[in-house]
Amino acid sequence: MAPERPFAPAEHPDLGWDPRGQSALSGDLLQLFRRLDGVFLGLAGESAAREHRFPPFLAARHLERVNYFRSFPQHATFPVHLEASDENLRAFAGQDALDAQGNLRLTRTSPPQEVLTPAACYHFYPRFAGRTLAEPLYVTTMATCFRREREYRPLRRQWAFSMREIVCLGSAPEVEAFLARQRARLQELIDGWGLPLTWQVATDPFFDPRNPKVLAQKLDPVKHELTFAGDLAIGSVNLHRNYFGEAFGIIRAGEPACSGCVAFGLERWLHAILAHFGPRPGDWPGALSGGTP
Amino acid sequence: MAPERPFAPAEHPDLGWDPRGQSALSGDLLQLFRRLDGVFLGLAGESAAREHRFPPFLAARHLERVNYFRSFPQHATFPVHLEASDENLRAFAGQDALDAQGNLRLTRTSPPQEVLTPAACYHFYPRFAGRTLAEPLYVTTMATCFRREREYRPLRRQWAFSMREIVCLGSAPEVEAFLARQRARLQELIDGWGLPLTWQVATDPFFDPRNPKVLAQKLDPVKHELTFAGDLAIGSVNLHRNYFGEAFGIIRAGEPACSGCVAFGLERWLHAILAHFGPRPGDWPGALSGGTP
């Protein structure tokens, strides 16, 4: 049951908010975060998806193969370090490291070769590059993802956020069946919880609206978003067709593999649960309150 | 019992190694990682430490207060993004993003204000800045930490690695009692496992060996490392005295609070367990094999 007075999730005492776009969690919120992820890991388990834990950086050369820098340059964050000569490190260490605005006064840096993970599932395609799949592959991972935006809001839009993904690589019918099955199970779950969410057709946020992929996605929708309060996408079901299979030489049934993923933005789920059910764990749906599912 | 033929942990099939200094885990290794962290979280629970989950970046101005950039400039990694004007993003998106060496050809970047977390416990001191503690504070977190090094080795020395820390803020006797208690419990645990580890006095890896803190740490040791095979520090017990309490205005019993932490490098524990007990989960000590502790 929804609380009588609407609760502002950003005011939860267990939330630490950094206005530069990051959040810290403890107490009830951290419990809720873990339980939500446990529920989504359970959905992954229904497809017998093997879990992976990936590192925070992704090689830029992998992302270049799928035109990431052309499509989403506005979102990327790069891990940069000082060029490691003694003279350069001494120059940096010997000065005031920050200017009056709080900006770091870096001396010479080495050119980066990596990007901070933009989406959890990007790690899988280079990992399976060149493989011929004897059967469809089901995998899952949860990763901290990074996207620069024009502005940030606690839990709802962050520079750094947490994404759980369940991914299938296989033939077109195998991937389509996986997505339909996962979407149906997800629908059952949220119906059981009584969380008011709607499905919306969406396109990816391409930097250049004239990118031919924008038109292609509009003509033949491949992205369906699960939306809270009309405008907050908290999950999505995505069909990539053979885009990644072709780019990374992954083969299924003699052809470039298709892929698809179900993605959950965990902080946004926290927002939806808190906004709808309020801050008391006892008011959250069974599996999230710590009771039996 | 140790296996007859030594096993090279880097060859474990569930390990994905990126020679730029990061690892990916799945299967048995991911299970072992989670169980190890669960054991350390259990130690934290014995001090009733509250768990926090921190974001990946730390504001540079916080680290400046403890002279981080002067002490460890060689280790820092900074999250950098492109200056967000349309013209600059177009210039980046319109070129080949990588040069022949795989280096990103960044156009104008914005000066960073953050650092990728260098050590998990650094998040706690700004979080509790300005507080007067009515009783000692016990907290714990696990974070991905980042340190540039001259060279990397799988699990043993990584650019990005996982650190669990248990921290106490309080009076000097409270912190000393906490560290002694945690060290004794840790010793019981590893004795029970039969893992051959030794304690060694150590100093932090200051960039400038003439830094007065190097001499101070040598004269009056504040860092004790738990070492595997003679040279791999897989854990440490650290007394900070009132260094962080003073820098962040945290007060206990009318004076700047003391602090201390117990830290675990999780990938290094994976290395030690695999090197000593071999790759089969059934050969790992009880709580790690999935059996009863």
Residues in chain B: 293
Interface contact A111-B123, CB threshold 8 A: no
In this complex, the residue of B30, B57, B93 whose CB is nearest that of residue A53 is B30
Chain B residues touching A77 at Cβ < 8 A:
79-81
Q: Which pLDDT band holds residue B212 (cuts at 50, 70, 90)? A: confident
pLDDT at A293: 44
Chain B residues touching A20 at Cβ < 8 A:
57, 59, 113-114
Residues 6+ apart with CB under 8 A from B25: A52, A53, B14, B15, B16, B33, B270
Report the C-alpha gap between A45 and A43 in whole angstroms.
5
Task: Supply the ipTM of this predicted assembly.
Answer: 0.95
Nearest CA in chain A to B150: A84
Q: Sort B246 into a burial class: Cβ within 10 Å, 0-12 / 13-18 / 19+.
A: middle
In chain A, which residues have pLDDT < 50?
293
pLDDT at B215: 79
Report the C-alpha gap between A150 and A131 in whole angstroms.
39
pLDDT at A4: 59
CA distance A117 to chain B (A): 12
Query: Which candidate, A55, A83, A59, A87, places its Cα nearest to that of B78?
Result: A83
Mutant choice from A34, A65, A81, A207 vs B, greatest count of B C-beta within 10 A: A81
Residues in chain A: 293
pLDDT at B134: 98
* pLDDT score of B268 more than 80: yes
Taking all residues of chain B, what is their mean pLDDT, rounded to a whole number?
95
Instruction: Give the lowest-confidence range in A10-19, A50-59, B115-124, B207-216.
Output: B207-216
For range B111-121, the mean pLDDT: 98
Residue B220 tokens, joined: 């009056």
Q: Give the count of alpha carbons within 13 A of B199, CB side only.
A: 13
Q: Which pLDDT band holds residue B291 (cuts at 50, 70, 90)? A: low
pLDDT tens track for A9-31: 999 999 999 999 999 999 999 99
pLDDT at B293: 44
Report the C-alpha gap between A280 and A274 in whole angstroms.
8
pLDDT tens track for B218-236: 778 899 999 999 999 999 9
Domains (range + CATH), chain B = 9-57+118-289 (3.30.930.10)
Residue A180 tokens, joined: 């339909």
In this complex, is the C-beta atom of A160 within 8 Å of any C-beta atom belonging to chain B? yes
Report the C-alpha gap between A65 and A58 in whole angstroms.
12
- Residue written as tokens 């951290």? A30
Q: How far is CA A193 from CA A187, B24, B30, in A?
A: 10, 34, 31
In this complex, is the C-beta atom of B116 within 8 Å of any C-beta atom belonging to chain A? yes
For range B198-222, the mean pLDDT: 86
Residues 6+ apart with CB under 8 A from B140: B41, B44, B49, B50, B51, B52, B164, B165, B166, B167
* pLDDT score of B60 more than 70: yes
Query: Which candidate, B2, B26, B11, B5, places its Cα nearest to that of B154?
Result: B11
Please tell me whether residue A230 adopts helix, strand or coil conformation: coil
Nearest CA in chain B to A211: B93
Interface contact B103-A113, CB threshold 8 A: yes
pLDDT at A286: 84
pLDDT at B249: 98
A–B CB contacts, 8 A cutoff, strictly below: 195
